[in-house]
Structure formats: C-alpha cells, structure tokens
C-alpha cells in the first residue's frame, strides 16, 4: 500500500531539505543533521493521501509545499517539547538541547518557526492560512498547559484529552484537511478528513503514552516511563493515581528510585494498560467511520495507515 505516493514522498522530503537550508554553516549543519534523523513523516504522508480527494495531479507542487511545511512545524514542536521536558534522547539519538544546550535548541526552533511563516506567506489559499494559524495557536496553548500541569496529580482525564488535542491531534487533523483543501476537494471531504485526522491523532497520542510503559526500550529509542520521570501526567498515570493516590503524594520531590518503582508497578498493571489501549482503539473506530463516503482508493490507503499506527511497537 501507499506505493503510489513513493515519488511524491521523496520529492516532499527533498523539498524539506531545501527549505530548511541555511546560509550560516553551523546552523545549517545542526538543522540538516536533525532532519536526517528520520521521523515517520506521518503528517506529510496523510496530507499527500488526503490530496487524492481532489485533483492532486493538477496541484501537486502546492500539495508538496504544504506537506513540507506541516512536517517542519511538527519537527519544530519536537525541539521545543524536548526543551520543556528536559529530554536527552529522541528516536534513539541525542536531542538538540542535550547536545547544544537549551538556548541554542530554542533559537533553532524559533528559526524554523520563522521559516514556516515565510513559506506560509507564499500560499495564496486563504483557507490554508486559517487552518494553519488556528493550529499553531492551539499547539502553543497545549505546550503551556502541559508545562503548567507537570506533576499535577489532580489532572483529570478530560484535562489530558484537551491537552493532547492541542499538542498532537490538531496538527494531524490539519494535515489531513490541508491535503484535501490544497487539491480542491469538496467541502464534505475537507470536513471528514479533518475529523478523521483528529480522531486518528487522539488515538496516536494515547497509544504513544501507552507505549511509554510497554514498548521495548531499544525500539522506543529511549528509556520507558519517561513521562512519569519528567512529571508529564499522561492517561496511564492518571489511572494509576486514581487507583493508588497515596503513592503519588509529594510526587514532585520523589527520588529517581521512587519514580522507577512506580514505573515498574504501572508496567505490571494489565488492568490500567488495557483500559488505556481500549480508549485509543475507540478513537480509531471513530476515525474509520469518517472514511465511509471517501473514494475507495483513498479510504483503503487511509485504513492502511490506521492499521499501521494501531499495530506499531513504536
């Protein structure tokens, strides 16, 4: 599956390399090295697939440009995310903040956001601007909420869902919608593709938080349980707090050993982990329902992506 998109994916990734190139030799070296680490490119791929809901041949250059911008936005948010979380590793490689310090990493992230704004200014479609501006606003809001809620053991499930909507789901939803908008798809397809991306994004983040406790560390590219170590209250942790609240009193001041003990308990708690997986699966079911009226080729390609993400080890 997705064989029809291989060439467009390669062209878009090449475009990303060209767009993020910088005249400053040192900055360029840092950026090119970071982008070469190779993410999954999910947002890029979703934009390309959803563009088949319209005339993706006629608007291919515009579609690649938008898909590249979306992937750069995602990569930029990861840089800022790592600074906030104090993360030392991502995808099995040292983070920018780990190698160069928080200040340099922050400046690189800001540079990439400025680059994104420059590229967005070249887009003539007003709907694209509307979707992107709202999405960027929500992403920043989500980061603020996550930072303010660190170690907050009163975080509710609803708070968590609102947070991951802003941090993850909305950019995936935007990627799907902009793929369809940029190819001139009808409004019904744009609306359905956005909702599909939203539900998929919610499931994706919940599954990521699930895998933080169950995935193989070599596959994960980092130690498991890092959310609990850094005070990021995710859904498995919320359920663990509900079950054993007393164990989390004074959580912010816990020693590393105390946190590791909680991680071990959570890893062994099949009831909690099964509950988290079930919620992720429910969002996937909702995502699939959005595809019912799509053309067969697009529906099958998106269902393939859904299955791949649902069954990933990471």
Q: What does the pLDDT read at residue 274? A: 97
Residue 109: both structure tokens together:
């992230």
Tokens of 71: 């992937």
Considering the entire predicted model, what is its pTM? Answer: 0.94
Q: What is the mean pLDDT of residues 79-92?
A: 80
**C-alpha separations of 98 from 103, 107, 153, 256 in Å:** 11, 14, 28, 19
- In tens, the pLDDT along 92-130 reads 788 889 988 989 999 999 999 999 999 999 999 999 999
| For residues 147-161, average pLDDT | 95
Give the model's pLDDT for residue 73.
95
Q: Residue 89: which pLDDT band, with cuts at 50, 70 and 90? A: confident
Instruction: Output the pLDDT for position 207.
Output: 95
pLDDT band (50, 70, 90) for residue 313: low
Q: What angle do CA 203, 207, 213 make, to 5 degrees?
A: 160
Q: What is the per-residue pLDDT across 140-149, written as a single tens digit (0 to 9) for each?
A: 898 888 888 9
Taking Cα atoms as reference points, which of 280, 302, 278, 277 lies closest to residue 289? Answer: 302
The percentage of the chain sitting over the pLDDT mark of 90, rounded to a whole number, equals: 75
7 burial level (CB within 10 Å; 0-12, 13-18, 19+): exposed
Q: pLDDT, tens digit, for every residue of 235-275?
A: 999 999 999 999 999 999 999 999 999 999 999 999 999 99
Give the start-to-end residue ranges of the domains of the chain: 3-310
Q: Which two tokens stand for residue 68?
A: 């590249």
Mean pLDDT, rounded, of the chain: 92
pLDDT band at 43 (very low <50, low <70, confident <90, very high): very high
| Three-state secondary-structure class, residue 153 | coil
Quick one: which of 161, 141, 191 has its CA closest to 291? Answer: 191
The whole-number pLDDT of residue 221 equals 56
Would you place residue 85 in the very low, low, confident or very high pLDDT band (cuts 50, 70, 90)?
confident
What pLDDT sits at residue 88?
81
> Is residue 37 scored above 80 in pLDDT?
no
pLDDT at 154 over 80: yes
CA-wise closest residue to 113 among 62, 63, 79, 145: 79
* pLDDT interval class at 51 (50, 70, 90): very high
Average pLDDT value for residue range 63-76: 95
pLDDT band per the 50, 70, 90 thresholds, residue 215: confident
Mean pLDDT, to the nearest integer, of 78-84? 86
pLDDT bucket at 90, cuts 50 / 70 / 90? confident
* CB-based contacts of 265, cutoff 8 Å, min separation 6: 240, 244
- Average pLDDT score over residue span 169-181: 98
Q: Are 70 and 206 in contact (CB under 8 A)?
A: no
Q: Is the pLDDT of residue 219 over 60?
A: no
Residue 222: the pLDDT is: 62
Q: Which residues contact 22 (CB under 8 A, 6 or more apart)?
A: 28, 31, 111
Q: Is 221 left (phi over 0), alpha (psi -120 to 50) or beta?
A: left
Confidence of residue 80 (pLDDT cuts 50, 70, 90): confident
Q: What is the CATH number of domain 3-310?
A: 1.10.600.10
Comparing CA positions, the residue from 79, 146, 133 lying closest to residue 108 is 79
**Over residues 23-49, mean pLDDT:** 87
3-state helix, strand, coil in the chain (%, to 5): 75, 0, 20
> Which residue matches tokens 């960027």?
136
């Amino acid at each position: 599956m997705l064989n029809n998109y291989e060439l467009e994916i390669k062209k878009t990734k090449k475009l990303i390399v060209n767009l993020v190139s910088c005249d400053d030799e040192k900055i360029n070296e840092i950026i090119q090295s970071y982008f070469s680490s190779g993410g999954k490119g999910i947002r890029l791929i979703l934009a390309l697939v959803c563009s088949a809901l319209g005339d993706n041949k006629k608007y291919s250059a515009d579609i690649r440009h938008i898909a590249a911008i979306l992937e750069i936005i995602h990569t930029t948010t990861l840089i800022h995310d790592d600074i906030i979380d104090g993360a030392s590793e991502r995808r099995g490689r040292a983070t920018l903040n780990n190698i160069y310090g928080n200040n340099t990493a922050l400046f690189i992230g800001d540079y990439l956001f400025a680059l994104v704004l420059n590229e967005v200014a070249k887009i003539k479609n007003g709907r694209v601007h509307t979707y992107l501006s709202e999405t960027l606003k929500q992403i920043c809001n989500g980061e603020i909420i996550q930072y303010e809620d660190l170690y907050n053991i009163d975080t509710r499930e609803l708070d968590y869902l609102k947070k991951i909507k802003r941090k993850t789901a909305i950019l995936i939803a935007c990627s799907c919608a902009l793929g369809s908008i940029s190819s001139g798809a009808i409004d019904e397809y744009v609306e359905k593709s956005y909702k599909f991306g939203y539900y998929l994004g919610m499931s994706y983040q919940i599954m990521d938080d699930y895998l933080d406790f169950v995935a193989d560390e070599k596959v994960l590219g980092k130690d498991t349980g890092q959310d609990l170590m850094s005070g990021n209250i995710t859904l498995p942790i919320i359920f663990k707090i509900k079950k054993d609240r007393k164990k989390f009193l004074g959580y912010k001041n816990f020693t590393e050993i105390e946190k590791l003990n909680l991680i071990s308990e959570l890893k062994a708690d099949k009831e909690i982990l099964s509950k988290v997986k079930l919620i992720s699966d429910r969002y996937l079911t909702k995502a699939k329902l959005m595809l019912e009226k799509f053309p067969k080729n697009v529906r099958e390609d998106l269902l393939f992506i859904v299955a791949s993400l649902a069954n990933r080890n990471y």
